[in-house]
């Protein structure tokens, strides 16, 4: 009995996942609850476990994107440990089975039938593919199920097997983009063995192109589309690279490790007169000029889509102000040791900004609201998202009901969420929701920026670097630690009066922290 393993539901807002890597190969025996692969969503990474004991059959390769509920693999629960997948064995020895079935003295003959091959359906959301490379030449004799080409989609690379035995007539060329169902080639059907002329040409080609001692497989010395791009950028011929993939195929890792062979020394040195007449050579550039190409992660692709959507779908504006940080810095200097001793956490700037933001949001509720269709949703609570730079990309965990938390509770929650973000252990619930976002580019040295709204929220506050500048105070010039603050907001719901007043109120609270305690 075969048990289908489907992509599980991993969150309310997640509709698809990407296969990160397989820990078990197709045909291997797996045990109940054993981790077999890793799934990546736009928010977190999950492990997929086996739901029963048996032999694994992989249905989707690493890098493919699947919708929730799609079949990802099957487990043959009747198979015992040590068994191999029968389908895999049959696939590995198609030539042997054909030799036993076909009579030894069969004769070739053209039937007159022409088999038209079209681009097959390779996924629900895929409407077109690109012909990456032909593995067989025009006019070659191909056998049934022999791989003749590779096609690329926006999600994965697929191999195209011959649907009949005969003479190949290519219609599309490498690099062509074809719609699903588009004609890719024709096969003039031939019964029996390959024609003698074709056999001679085929054997001559294989003897001249196949390396000595090689397996003779079509994949040997052939670069995958990703590897071919990397080799082309490096200026390296695929013939100079040894493949470590299946049947000798050159993988992406092989291409990244490949080095250009050293140039052969010149046979003879030119004479002095020839050197004078020759054009001056360009100066050699010192150092290496390597490049690295990486596939965009699922999280990075989602971030890209959402940032572009925020720019295109909102009437976004940014207003600025500046804050004298000396009162807060003096307060921290005076009480930071006592604060840490009592609460076992450092007193940072985030608690001051979070508490000040909550007061300002409650006074200007439009900044804490969001648009839903033709309606505006106002929140009487403050769920403050904090932007954290994690190894896999930017994430925004949420501090729930920040308006009701004390300074030490805010600091502890910031530390907890930031630590989980950097360790990649945030849950979906900890990253969903949020009514307003704070991002601190100042920790990286940013002086001023225009942050992009975190949809569906309507505003985001940007903190920046603290710089000592000369400021005029009561007719005197004083050197003060100043910070620029920026509020990006959706003008469809927030007017200029509200955005400017919000920042002014924030400035008052930060420059006079006693207001936060007295509520004035």
- Residue 63's nearest CA partner among 247, 228, 238, 225 is 225
CA distance linking residue 207 with residue 199, whole number of Å = 12
**pLDDT in the model for residue 95:** 43
Boundaries of every domain in the chain: 2-92, 107-207, 317-518
Give per-residue pLDDT as tens, 213-261: 444 555 566 676 667 777 877 778 777 777 776 567 777 777 777 776 6
Overall size of the chain counted in residues: 520
Per annotation, catalytic residue among 199, 240, 495, 512 = 495
pLDDT digits (tens, 9 = 90+) for 143-179: 888 899 888 776 556 788 999 889 999 998 888 888 8
| Residue 96, preceding peptide bond in cis (omega within 30° of 0) | no
How are beta strands 384-386 and 436-440 bridged, if at all?
parallel
What is the assigned CATH class of domain 2-92?
mainly beta
pLDDT tens for each residue of 43-101 = 677 788 888 888 888 888 888 888 888 888 988 887 665 555 444 444 444 444 444 44
With beta carbons less than 8 A apart as the criterion, state whether 331 and 348 touch: no
pLDDT of residue 207: 42
Task: Give 357's pLDDT tier (boundaries 50, 70, 90).
Answer: very high
Mark whether 383 is an active-site residue: no
- Report in angstroms the alpha-carbon separations of 334 from 109, 256, 356, 480, 519: 96, 55, 20, 18, 22
Instruction: Place domain 317-518 in its CATH homologous superfamily.
Output: Chloramphenicol acetyltransferase-like domain (3.30.559.10)
Write out pLDDT tens, residues 282-335: 777 777 888 888 877 767 777 788 888 888 888 999 999 999 999 999 999 999
**221 contacts 250 by C-beta, under 8 angstroms:** yes
Give domain 107-207's CATH number out of 3.30.300.30, 2.120.10.80, 3.60.15.10, 2.40.50.100: 2.40.50.100
Instruction: State the pLDDT at residue 85.
Output: 46
- What pLDDT shows up at residue 393? 75
Highest mean pLDDT among 129-143, 191-205, 284-298, 482-496: 482-496
- 491 as an active site residue: the answer is yes
Domains 2-92 and 317-518 share a fold: no
Hey, what are 348's tokens? Answer: 């940072």
- Chain mean pLDDT for the chain: 81
Q: Of the listed 154, 176, 237, 491, which one is catalytic?
A: 491
Confidence of residue 491 (pLDDT cuts 50, 70, 90): very high
Q: In this predicted model, which residue has the larger pLDDT, 48 or 436?
A: 436
């Amino acid at each position: 009995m075969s048990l289908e393993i489907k992509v599980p539901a991993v969150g309310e807002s997640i509709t698809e996942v990407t296969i990160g890597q397989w820990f078990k190969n197709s045909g291997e025996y797996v045990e109940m609850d054993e981790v077999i692969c890793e799934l990546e969503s736009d928010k977190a990474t999950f492990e997929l476990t086996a739901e029963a004991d048996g032999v694994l059959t992989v249905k989707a390769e690493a890098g493919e994107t699947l919708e929730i509920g799609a079949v990802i693999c099957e487990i043959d629960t009747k198979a015992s440990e040590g068994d191999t997948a029968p389908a895999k064995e049959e696939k590995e020895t198609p030539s042997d089975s054909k030799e036993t079935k076909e009579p030894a003295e069969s004769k070739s003959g053209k039937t007159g039938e022409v088999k038209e091959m079209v681009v097959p359906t390779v996924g629900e959301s895929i409407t077109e593919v690109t012909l990456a490379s032909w593995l067989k030449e025009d006019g070659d004799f191909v056998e049934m199920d022999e791989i003749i080409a590779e096609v690329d989609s926006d999600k994965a690379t697929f191999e195209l097997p011959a649907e009949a035995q005969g003479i190949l007539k290519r219609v599309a060329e490498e690099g062509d983009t074809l719609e699903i169902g588009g004609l890719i080639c024709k096969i003039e059907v031939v019964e029996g063995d390959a024609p003698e002329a074709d056999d001679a040409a085929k054997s001559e080609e294989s003897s001249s192109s196949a390396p000595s001692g090689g397996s003779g497989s079509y994949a040997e010395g052939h670069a995958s589309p990703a590897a071919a791009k990397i080799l082309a950028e490096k200026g390296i011929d695929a013939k100079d690279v040894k493949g470590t993939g299946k049947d000798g195929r050159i993988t992406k890792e092989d291409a990244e490790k490949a080095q250009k062979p050293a140039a052969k020394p010149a046979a003879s040195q030119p004479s002095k007169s020839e050197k004078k007449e020759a054009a001056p050579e360009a100066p050699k550039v010192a150092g290496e000029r390597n490049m690295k190409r990486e596939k965009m992660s699922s999280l990075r692709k989602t971030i890209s889509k959402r940032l572009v959507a925020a720019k295109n779908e909102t009437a976004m504006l940014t207003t600025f102000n500046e804050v004298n940080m000396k009162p807060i810095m003096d307060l921290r200097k005076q009480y930071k040791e006592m604060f840490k001793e009592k609460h076992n956490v450092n007193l940072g700037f985030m608690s001051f900004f979070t508490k000040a933001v909550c007061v300002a949001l409650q006074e200007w509720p439009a900044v804490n609201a969001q648009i839903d269709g033709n309606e505006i949703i106002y929140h009487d609570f403050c769920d403050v998202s904090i932007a954290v730079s994690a190894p896999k990309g930017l994430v925004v965990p949420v501090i729930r009901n920040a308006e009701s938390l004390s300074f030490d509770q805010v600091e502890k929650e910031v530390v907890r969420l930031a630590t989980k973000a950097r360790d990649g252990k945030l849950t979906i619930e900890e990253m969903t929701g949020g009514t307003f976002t704070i991002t601190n580019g100042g920790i990286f040295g940013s002086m001023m920026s225009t942050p992009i709204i975190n949809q569906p929220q309507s505003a985001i506050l940007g903190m920046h670097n603290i710089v000592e500048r000369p400021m005029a105070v009561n007719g005197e010039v004083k050197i003060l630690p100043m910070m620029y603050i920026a509020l990006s907001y959706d003008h469809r719901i927030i007017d200029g009066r509200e955005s400017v007043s919000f920042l002014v109120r924030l400035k008052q609270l930060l420059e006079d922290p006693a207001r936060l305690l007295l509520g004035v």
